């Protein structure tokens, strides 16, 4: 067979996770793909020449390289309006995506085979289900943006499969756990955990909690907080324990919670403070419990507290960002493992379920 070298063909060779190589040929740099090594004919065959000829005469997608479109996305109003943490996470994955597909024509993502290309790339993080899923989420959002903004006619990376599964409904801080922690941990760490157990706020919201969130009511006090994740207003009754914590806050300090040196916390530092001191308590260490209690798991404890304070299951589920069924599971498990509170919590849960008036759990 005579080998034919066509002029102007742009060739991209990529190493797969398996160690094998995939080669794709484009009619020109930025043009459509007309051949890949996955096909069952040779790049020196008549079929190859025919594919090139057919491809070079039809209307192609705009001549954009993937690296240019990624740059446009990172400069877009849609990206810049997201929260700083989201921007940081998305940018990390988009730069990885850009590095992998930089020289590929962006038009390739309008072809069904591109789904396989993205799936192969994701396999680098198969060892970490969370990263594997998250990079797929970011890529899909990017391609959705590109489609909405006319960078591409369509794409084939909708609903990329996810592998991470997590059900922490059965992991909550019991009163005994909290007592053990508070006996061993310093004041700043105790305050973080108590505040989490009494409010159900996520670590990022706890870090920003300040005196401006406290409101007086006819019967006491409440916290009124706009949550970071959903930007919704959460109204939280101040319990006796939370009230004592608020009253013990130095009058000259605006923030309710601070670090060990009085510094401002963020979500990560608040979570790490609790985990660090938890690990120093033998009874609470992951090896002893069989699981790792996290600051975030205090939300289950708080859900029970809110139920006992008179909030309905629907309100708790909406406030926590859970389904009503999941909220019921968390509270029911809390009742089972908290022997001193079992009967009282079960009665409150049963009453709440009845008042849902047939709401499907």
Q: Please, which pLDDT band fits residue 341 given cuts at 50, 70 and 90?
A: low
pTM metric for this prediction: 0.62
Strand 21-26 to strand 33-36: parallel, antiparallel, or no bridges (unpaired)? antiparallel
Query: Which residues are bridge partners to 13 per DSSP?
Result: 23
Of the pLDDT bands very low, low, confident and very high (cuts 50, 70, 90), residue 35 is confident
- Return the top range by mean pLDDT from 39-43, 102-106, 137-141, 150-154: 137-141
Listed residue (286, 343, 276, 342) closest to 171, CA to CA: 286
Nearest in space to 93 (alpha carbons), one of 137, 135, 35: 135
Using DSSP, how many helices (H) and how many strands (E) does the chain show? Answer: 16, 6
Residue 296 corresponds to which tokens in the numbers above?
Answer: 């975030």
Residue 20 and residue 327: Cα distance in Å, rounded? 47
Higher-confidence residue of 42 and 201: namely 201
Quick: pLDDT tens for 155-198: 999 999 888 766 676 788 888 899 999 999 999 999 999 999 99
pLDDT digits (tens, 9 = 90+) for 190-244: 999 999 999 889 899 999 999 999 999 888 898 999 988 778 888 888 888 999 9
Domains defined for the chain, CATH in brackets: 10-148 (no CATH), 175-355 (1.10.443.10)
Q: Which of 54-58, 88-92, 159-163 has the highest mean pLDDT?
A: 88-92
Whether residue 106 contacts residue 68, with contact meaning beta carbons closer than 8 Å, is answered with yes
Query: Whole-angstrom Cα distance, residue 307 to residue 312?
Result: 6
Residue 26, Cβ density class (10 Å: 0-12 exposed, 13-18 middle, ≥19 buried)? buried
């Amino acid at each position: 067979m005579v080998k034919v070298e066509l002029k102007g063909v742009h060739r991209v060779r990529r190493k797969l996770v398996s160690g094998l190589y995939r080669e794709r040929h484009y009619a020109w740099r930025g043009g459509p793909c007309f051949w890949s090594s996955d096909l069952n004919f040779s790049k020196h065959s008549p079929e190859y020449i025919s594919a090139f000829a057919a491809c070079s005469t039809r209307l192609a997608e705009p001549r954009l390289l993937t690296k240019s479109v990624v740059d446009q996305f990172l400069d877009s109003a849609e990206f810049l309006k997201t929260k700083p943490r989201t921007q940081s996470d998305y940018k990390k994955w988009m730069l990885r995506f850009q590095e992998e597909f930089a020289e590929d024509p962006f038009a390739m993502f309008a072809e069904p085979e591109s789904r396989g290309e993205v799936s192969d790339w994701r396999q680098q993080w198969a060892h970490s289900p969370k990263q594997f899923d998250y990079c797929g989420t970011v890529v899909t959002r990017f391609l959705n943006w590109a489609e909405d903004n006319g960078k591409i006619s369509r794409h084939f990376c909708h609903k990329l499969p996810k592998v991470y599964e997590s059900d922490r409904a059965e992991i909550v801080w019991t009163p005994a756990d909290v007592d053990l922690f508070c006996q061993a941990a310093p004041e700043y760490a105790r305050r973080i955990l108590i505040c989490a157990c009494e409010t159900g706020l996520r670590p990022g919201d706890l870090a920003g909690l300040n005196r401006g969130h406290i409101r007086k009511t006819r019967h006491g006090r409440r916290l009124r907080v706009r949550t970071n994740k959903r930007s919704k207003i959460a109204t939280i009754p101040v319990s006796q324990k939370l009230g004592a914590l608020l009253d013990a806050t130095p009058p000259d300090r605006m923030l309710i919670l601070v670090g060990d040196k009085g510094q401002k916390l963020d979500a990560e530092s608040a979570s790490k403070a609790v985990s660090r001191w938890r690990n120093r308590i033998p009874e609470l260490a992951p090896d002893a419990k069989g699981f790792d209690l996290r600051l975030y798991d205090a939300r289950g404890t708080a859900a029970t507290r809110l139920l006992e304070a008179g909030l309905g299951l629907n309100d708790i589920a909406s406030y926590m960002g859970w389904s009503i069924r999941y909220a019921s599971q968390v509270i029911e498990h809390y009742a089972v493992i908290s022997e001193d509170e079992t009967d009282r919590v079960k009665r409150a849960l049963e009453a709440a379920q009845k008042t849902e008036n047939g709401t499907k759990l």
